Structure 1
């Protein structure tokens, strides 16, 4: 029973996490504007604030979309976790506050962990990665008899 529901659970997790990241990336890109985002990163002491701002927005929007589609999940998971760990270091430092309402790192730590977990989950049967990998596996299996026959 659980194995039948796993793809649906992973789909829900991918979509919700992807929507959260897209919303945050879109807020930085459109609502605040990239100039304000760069200035904000600069005021936080983030090195190379222009590069960091564009990487962050790109990772959140593109990575969020990749999560939803289930495409290149390990890459998306690592990029998003990296952004969240950077936010944990620069924006929500380990200064004793854990809970997000106190300025702590609870939320970004959770997003980083979920990004890694979903990124390396395989995404489930309803992910593009799984569909593509299953097709690659099918092609290899169908090629094997032909190779065995040609060696005789």
Structure 2
């Protein structure tokens, strides 16, 4: 809303100032032209009267028209402000406030338009407005903040290992003298050999086929020498036929004859 009000006020001020400056320029042109204006400026003590007269007539006529159209407003308004400052200093200031109030008002309004611009209701906005809008948007845009930096990072509590201070370095342990030789321990009798656990487990898993099956002999432990198979009573000689040996059988044989 404020921007619209300024644009409207700038349009009204441009039209009013433009009409006033065009009127002053036409007065100089019709009252004597360049020569008559030069003579008037020379009589008032304006330095370089002919150059100043030509500048004043061109700026007031052409500048007034461009000011109404709103074309090149900052430059034209600044030139009009310079024209009014010269008129105030060299002509109107010596005659008091009431003689210089119009010149001061016109110069101040022109200086304001030179600083603030012609507004959106002007040719400047139609020609250069898009670039100006982009420039103002870039100036008013907030600074870019990366999303990572915008959001605070979650606080991560240190692990117990990280929270503990580093352990101080320990000096190297001093070399210990060799321990005294201990006497060899008394030899212990070898423990009885136990049957392998696999044999016990396999024996426990074997089911009994029938109740009349003869019990199997126990499995000797590992390392025990195997006993020879039992094949019957030992053989002591020829079978006893009931006859006992006589004395001849027991006598030694006679010596051989020579």
Which residue does 2:96 correspond to in 1? 97
CA distance in 1, matches of 2:4, 2:79: 29
Deviations 1:82-124 (CA, angstroms, capped at 9, x unpaired): 110100111112x472112xxxx21111111000111222211
**CA RMSD of the aligned region, Å?**
2.0
Which residue does 1:48 correspond to in 2? 48
Structure 1 stretches of 4+ with a deviation exceeding 3 A read 135-140
Which residue does 2:106 correspond to in 1? 111
Alignment of 1:3-22 (within 5 A): 3-22=3-22
TM-score w.r.t. length of structure 2: 0.49
Flag the structure with more relative contact order, 1 or 2, with Cα contacts below 8 A and sequence separation at least 6: 1
Contact 1:6 1:124 in 2 (8 A): yes
Q: Which secondary structure does the structure 2 equivalent of 1:29 belong to? A: helix
Which residue does 2:115 correspond to in 1? 120
Q: Which secondary structure does the structure 2 equivalent of 1:92 belong to? A: helix
CA distance in 2, matches of 1:138, 1:112: 28
CA distance in 1, matches of 2:8, 2:98: 30
CA distance in 1, matches of 2:112, 2:24: 20
Unaligned ranges ≥5, structure 1: 141-152
For the pair shown, the structure with the greater C-alpha radius of gyration is 2
CA distance in 2, matches of 1:92, 1:32: 21
Q: Give the number of equivalent residue pairs.
A: 135
CA distance in 1, matches of 2:57, 2:12: 23
Unaligned ranges ≥5, structure 2: 136-258
Deviations 1:17-41 (CA, angstroms, capped at 9, x unpaired): 0110011011101233222111101
Deviations 1:115-134 (CA, angstroms, capped at 9, x unpaired): 01112222111111122222
